[in-house]
């Protein structure tokens, strides 16, 4: 069966004209006539009663026309299904995320992506920003979502969301009732911090340097939840992401100190600088993430 001849026949009947069919299909008029003649030979029947002044489909032609439309529709559906199958997103994406992003932001991003591309396997590594950036450099990870600045050679980064940093103080601490605008109340205090290499630690160091704060003691805890719990227990102060505080139900620990201006940082998408090293899957993941946060990448 010549499916091209069948398509030509259906188009000619729809347009009631060989000339219009040739224009629609970008075929010569002799080719249109040849296709229809071939179909008539196949069915051993006249399908179109044609003369210089009329175009009329025969009863046999009407039967073939109806069946041909059904057959062509099935073929088009099969072609679309094959195309979708061949172009379906499959494979793996190895995603790295800093603790704040990985614990509180990434899960909702993964849910949206997984619903759209269920055949892509997602592998997530959560570590501090420094380790995630290093793993992308070494091609151990395909893409990273980290906090703070990215200055590593061979990496490109684009901010996708802003995050506020806040001071959290143990319940009942005297500073809560202190109205002074002096820095003295927060000098010589114990501070709870994330480890060196984390974006949160970098922000704490920046804040202390900016305001010349001298801690009595610095206690390092390698998880956001652990930092918040330590402050709840009265171990010391901390400077931490508002996202973390809100997701751990610890908003009551926040203290707005008039002499410390609000500080923000960005969560960023990190990929290899060489675009040829970025897979199709990662490009689609980044595209979905930027759409989710209403951003446009350059």
**Beta carbons of 153 and 137 less than 8 angstroms apart:** yes
| Number of separate domains in the chain | 3
Do 158 and 176 belong to one domain?
no
pLDDT of residue 86: 66
Averaged over 17-23, what is the pLDDT?
89
Averaged over 7-29, what is the pLDDT?
91
**Beta carbons of 233 and 171 less than 8 angstroms apart:** no
Averaged over 190-198, what is the pLDDT?
93
Confidence of residue 57 (pLDDT cuts 50, 70, 90): very high
Do 183 and 149 belong to one domain?
no
Picking from 76, 55, 54, 71, the residue whose alpha carbon sits closest to that of residue 6 is 71
Any idea which of 112-126, 166-180, 218-232 has the lowest mean pLDDT?
A: 166-180
Between residues 176 and 227, the one the model is more confident about:
227
Do 270 and 132 belong to one domain?
yes
Averaged over 110-137, what is the pLDDT?
93
pLDDT of residue 95: 97
Confidence of residue 295 (pLDDT cuts 50, 70, 90): low
Between residues 44 and 82, the one the model is more confident about:
44
Do 145 and 280 belong to one domain?
yes
* The model's pTM: 0.66
Percent of the chain past pLDDT 90, that is, above it, reads 62
Picking from 124, 111, 58, the residue whose alpha carbon sits closest to that of residue 289 is 111
Percent of the chain past pLDDT 70, that is, above it, reads 95
CA distance 244 to 290: 22
Averaged over 127-148, what is the pLDDT?
92
The answer to whether residue 249 is domain-embedded is yes
The answer to whether residue 298 is domain-embedded is no
| pLDDT, tens only, 231-260 | 999 999 999 999 999 999 999 999 988 888
Burial 18-42 (b: 16+ CB within 10 A, else e): beebbeebebeeebbbebbeebbee
Residue 109 has pLDDT above 90, yes or no: yes
Radius of gyration for the alpha carbons in the chain, expressed in angstroms and rounded: 33
Q: Are strands 263-272 and 143-147 parallel, antiparallel or unpaired?
A: antiparallel
| pLDDT, tens only, 65-102 | 999 988 888 888 788 777 766 667 888 999 999 999 99
Domain of 54, CATH number, reads: 1.10.10.10
pLDDT of residue 186: 85
| CB neighbour list of residue 34: distance below 8 Å, 6 or more residues apart | none
DSSP states of 214-247 as a string? --SEEEE-SSHHHHHHHHHTTS-EEEEEHHHHHH
The answer to whether residue 297 is domain-embedded is no
Residue 282 has pLDDT above 90, yes or no: yes
| pLDDT, tens only, 146-193 | 987 788 889 999 999 999 999 999 998 888 877 666 677 788 999 999
Domain of 223, CATH number, reads: 3.40.190.10
DSSP states of the chain as a string? --HHHHHHHHHHHHHT-HHHHHHHHT--HHHHHHHHHHHHHHHTS--EEEETTEEEE-HHHHHHHHHHHHHHHHHHHHHHHHHHHHT---EEEEEEE-HHHHHHTHHHHHHHHHHH-TTEEEEEEE--HHHHHHHHHTTS-SEEEEES----TTEEEEEEEEEEEEEE--TT-GGGG----SSGGGTT-EEEEPPTTSHHHHHHHHHHHHHT---SEEEE-SSHHHHHHHHHTTS-EEEEEHHHHHHTT-GGGB---TTS--EEEEEEEEEESSGGGS-HHHHHHHHHHHHHTT----
Do 103 and 231 belong to one domain?
no
Picking from 155, 101, 158, 93, the residue whose alpha carbon sits closest to that of residue 126 is 101
Task: Single out the residue in 52, 86, 120 at which a domain terminates.
Answer: 86
Q: Domain range spanning residue 178?
A: 164-263
Residue 298 has pLDDT above 60, yes or no: no
């Amino acid at each position: 069966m010549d499916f091209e001849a069948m398509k030509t026949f259906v188009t000619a009947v729809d347009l009631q004209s060989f000339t219009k069919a040739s224009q629609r299909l970008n075929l010569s008029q002799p080719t249109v006539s040849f296709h229809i003649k071939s179909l008539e030979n196949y069915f051993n029947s006249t399908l179109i009663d044609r003369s210089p002044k009329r175009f009329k489909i025969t009863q046999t032609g009407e039967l073939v026309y109806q069946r041909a439309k059904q057959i062509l529709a099935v073929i088009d559906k099969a072609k679309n299904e094959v195309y979708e199958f061949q172009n379906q997103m499959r494979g793996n994406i190895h995603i790295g995320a800093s603790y704040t992003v990985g614990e509180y932001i990434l899960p909702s991003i993964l849910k949206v992506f997984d619903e759209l591309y269920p055949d892509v396997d997602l592998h997530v590594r959560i570590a501090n920003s420094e380790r995630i950036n290093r793993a992308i450099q070494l091609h151990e990870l395909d893409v990273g979502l980290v906090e703070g600045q990215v200055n590593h050679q061979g990496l490109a980064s684009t901010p996708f969301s802003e995050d506020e940093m806040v001071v959290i103080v143990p319940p009942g601490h005297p500073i809560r009732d202190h109205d002074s605008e002096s820095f003295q109340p927060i000098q010589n205090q114990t501070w709870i911090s994330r480890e060196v290499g984390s974006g949160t630690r970098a922000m704490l160091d920046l804040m202390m340097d900016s305001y010349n704060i001298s801690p009595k003691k610095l206690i390092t805890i390698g998880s956001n939840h652990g930092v918040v719990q330590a402050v709840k227990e009265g171990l010391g102060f901390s400077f931490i992401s508002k996202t973390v505080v809100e997701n751990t139900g610890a908003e009551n620990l926040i203290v707005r100190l008039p002499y410390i201006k609000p500080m923000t940082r960005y969560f960023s998408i990190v990929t290899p600088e060489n675009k040829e090293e970025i897979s199709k899957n990662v490009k689609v993941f980044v595209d979905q993430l930027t759409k989710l946060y209403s951003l446009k990448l350059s």
